[in-house]
Structure 1
Amino acid sequence: MARRSEEQPATEIAAASEAHGGAAVSDGPEIQAVMSGVGRQIRSLRKVHGLTLEELANRSGVSVGLLSQVERGIGNPAFNSLARIAHALNTPIAALLHTGPDQSPVVRRHERRRLDVHAAGTTGIEAIHELLTPSLNQQLEVIEIQAPPGYSTENEPFSHAGEEFGMVIEGRHEVNVGGQSYVLEAGDSISYLSSIPHWYRNPGPEPVRAIWVITPPTF
């Protein structure tokens, strides 16, 4: 009996824990909507942690193929599979199953999620990247960057689809786009196509605090 419980589809358990007009969720469009939301939550959290599908698969013990299907909202995976994914993402499984439209548009300072990707740059000096938008499922991503003197990504330029806008709040921030360097002071801003190789550096002597807007979300 215990093994059968572990293999119960996740949406059946979600239906047992939530009321849907007094009736249990049945197979059909409702299930597809729930799993689509679960997939978006997993993809968002995976990107926040800076993980590839392969890395999340290794952490969770769930195959890359199944993870890919779940993120695309395909199928109805076993509850224990979602539990392993949630554990690998350091999040309660309830956070994956709660996919309703009542997410607050407000992000309080103490609720910001830290992005792990590229935190140490290429010099071993760590910067902080905090997500200012509620999730990565929107059309744009806004982050606050706090970079100490010496932080640099010069040896690993970024290049990806989309556009970016950045504004320096404090300090001096060097932004190199396509081989051309621009040194921004507090109050200066820059915008460019993300497909052009670009990197960042804080030449010092003060820490940098900047706001960056990226569309579509990349991290």
Structure 2
Amino acid sequence: MDIGPKIRTLRKNLNMSVRQLSELSECTPSFISQIERNIANPSINTLKKIADILNVPLIHFFEENTNQNESEDEYIIRKKRRKKLNSPAEKAEVFLLTPTNNMRNIEMHMIVIEPGGKSDKLYVNSAEEVGYVLKGKLTLYLGEERFEVNEGDSIYFPGNLPHGWANESNTEVITLWAATPPIIRNKSF
């Protein structure tokens, strides 16, 4: 995925130096430089900070899969056309499962987490979130509490409750999430 050149272009369009972006994002200048050259991969949290600083939604960094059938894209997201964000730092891939049309009030995404993967912090957003564990066992952090969520279990929480996740098992975990209002294509993630 070519996140780096997108960040560099946006930063330069804002006449912002690497040092300025690094200070605002609480990263070192060398790390920002490595991200821009696709040598290092930021966590989702770091990418979100950078997106906010550059005034773009997180969805801007998802892989684009173009389709000639715009009518179909309004209603159906084909498996091969899903927008995907890799987060090697968190050992996770996030797939957007709903259209990115700004008129939508809900969004759905799937997270595939490798063994040992975990969110790099507790997230807070303005959405209500519902999750479902399709495969494996997810460790979920809600505020100060820790829960084991098994395959077939569902989850609900308000996004303003600090939350995070981990895969402490030796098998892949796959989860489905719905959020309203959307958190990935908007700036509330």
User: Could you say which TM-score interval applies, normalised by the shorter chain?
Assistant: 0.5 to 0.7
| Aligned residue number for residue 211 of structure 1 | 176
Residues 115-160 of structure 1: per-residue CA shift (max 9 Å, x gap): 35xx23xxx342111011011621111011110111011x411011
Distance 1:217 1:198 in 2: 16
Describe the SS at the equivalent of 1:213. strand
TM-aligned CA deviation for residue 104 of structure 1: 2.9
Task: Verify: 1:107 aligned to 2:77, yes or no.
Answer: yes
Task: Verify: 1:156 aligned to 2:121, yes or no.
Answer: yes
Letter matched to residue 135 of structure 2: E
| Aligned residue number for residue 98 of structure 2 | 133
Contact 1:136 1:217 in 2 (8 A): no
Task: Verify: 1:146 aligned to 2:112, yes or no.
Answer: yes
Distance 1:179 1:89 in 2: 31
Contact 2:64 2:83 in 1 (8 A): no
TM-aligned CA deviation for residue 162 of structure 1: 1.3
Runs of 4+ in 1 over 2 A off after TM superposition: 54-57, 61-64, 88-92, 100-104
Contact 1:152 1:201 in 2 (8 A): yes
Aligned residue pairs total 138
| Aligned residue number for residue 202 of structure 1 | 167
Distance 2:3 2:127 in 1: 18
- Structure 1: 5+ residue stretches without partners: 1-48, 72-87
| Aligned residue number for residue 9 of structure 1 | none
Identity %: 23
Distance 1:110 1:131 in 2: 12
Larger Rg: 1
Distance 1:133 1:143 in 2: 7
Letter matched to residue 96 of structure 2: L
Letter matched to residue 145 of structure 1: I
| Aligned residue number for residue 38 of structure 1 | none
Residues 76-117 of structure 1: per-residue CA shift (max 9 Å, x gap): xxxxxxxxxxxx99879xx8xx9x87743011100100035x
User: Structure 1 residues 62, 147: CA separation in 2 closer, same or farther (over 3 Å shift)?
Assistant: same
Describe the SS at the equivalent of 1:58. helix
| Aligned residue number for residue 139 of structure 2 | 174
Normalised TM-score (structure 1): 0.53
Contact 2:63 2:85 in 1 (8 A): no
- Determine which structure has greater relative contact order: mean sequence separation of CA pairs < 8 Å that are 6+ residues apart, divided by chain length: 2
User: Structure 1 residues 125, 211: CA separation in 2 closer, same or farther (over 3 Å shift)?
Assistant: same
TM-aligned CA deviation for residue 192 of structure 1: 0.2
User: Structure 1 residues 102, 167: CA separation in 2 closer, same or farther (over 3 Å shift)?
Assistant: closer
Distance 1:136 1:174 in 2: 32
Residue of 189, 192, 197 corresponding to 2:154: 189
- Structure 2: 5+ residue stretches without partners: 17-53, 185-189
Distance 2:164 2:148 in 1: 12
User: Structure 1 residues 161, 136: CA separation in 2 closer, same or farther (over 3 Å shift)?
Assistant: farther
Describe the SS at the equivalent of 1:145. strand
Normalised TM-score (structure 2): 0.61
